[in-house]
Amino acid sequence: MTNSALPTARLHALGQSIWLDNITRTLLESGTLATYIANLSVTGLTSNPTIFEKAIGAGEAYDAQIRLLAPRGLSVEQVFFECAIQDLQRAADHFGPIHAATNRIDGFVSLEVSPLLANDTAGTVAQAIDLHARANRPNLFIKVPGTPEGCPAIEELIFRGIPINVTLLFSREHYLAAVEAYTRGIERRVAAGLSPFVGSVASVFVSRWDRACAKNLPANLQNTVGIAMAGRIIKAATDFHATPRWKALAAKGATEQRVLWASTGTKDPALAKTLYVDVLGGPNTVDTMPEETLLDLSKTGNPQRAMPTDGVAAEATLSAITAAGIDLNKVAAQLQIEGRDSFDKSWHELIAKIGEKVASIA
């Protein structure tokens, strides 16, 4: 049973969903994920190429499945997706009761399209539809980057009823592009006489801001950018969902694209492990955190009251950061590019490691 005194339970009580930013076959088979669900208020999880590169590349947990797949003549990418889908199906089944109990709002797992499709709208749509059909789980998000090429794919996929986790968002402008794509997809569904209820989250990366700006800020502004940008974005989300346009869709049964805080583990070992997760709590939001951060939160976390949604303190901090010489728009664009490139690198390493395993086992 979840201990209501634990910091994880207190954060969950603020209305925030706690998701694990990790998946491995060992996590599933050891019962660890089930323990996190039962004891630490975990209600979903996310994955990405870096996570799978570490999971599949290390040890022998996936060797038995790869041994079965190797003679089938599949490409290395196809072998990967077979392994990933099996993991995520099992994880989705763990979260199925939560998905049902929350009326399809929570209890999601996420699988990302190939990062090599980041600049290919049509290819992204085709692969997302294929992966979601093969996984055959209603509580599986397909992750699509919120890049200029990704947003048209997001609109089309939402129109087709595919739940989407929009990833690689860093700024208010990135968020607004994502929520606009989501909303257009819902509007097209309404116009076509389809259900307006399609799940989605907008994943905003937090800690990478502070790492990117650290060298160019005075001591009093160090490690303030990510939290301030989150405050700006939650204000934009609050304002958007108060518009007549959105309220009209909500009245027809549409559900909000929830803001998800990603990259909430601290990168600087001198910082408190729960620096971000303690202050980013709030209703109708998600925080997906690395396993280490989740465990630190459960032991030493101190969740605060729900974060402000008026943006006043956030804008004051961002004004000071801008005055110190940081071009926030330029940094946001660079962070999105770097994030895309990082996933590309992990993808190539993942495919190479699987290729070696396939060749060795074959």
- Other beta carbons within 10 Å of 101: 12
Q: What are the DSSP calls for 188-209, one per residue?
A: HHHHTT------EEEEEE-HHH
- Bridge partners, residue 98, by sequence: none
Are 277 and 305 within 8 A, CB to CB? no
- Could you tell me which residues are beta bridge partners of residue 203? 260
Q: Are 147 and 104 contacting, i.e. CB atoms less than 8 angstroms apart?
A: no
Q: Are 44 and 95 in contact (CB under 8 A)?
A: yes
Q: Of 54, 143, 273, 299, which is the active-site residue?
A: 143
Angle between helix 49-57 and helix 76-101 axes, rounded to 10 deg: 110
CA 262 to chain centre: 6
Cβ–Cβ under 8 Å, residues 302 and 273:
no
54 in catalytic set: no
- Indicate which residues carry an active-site annotation: 143
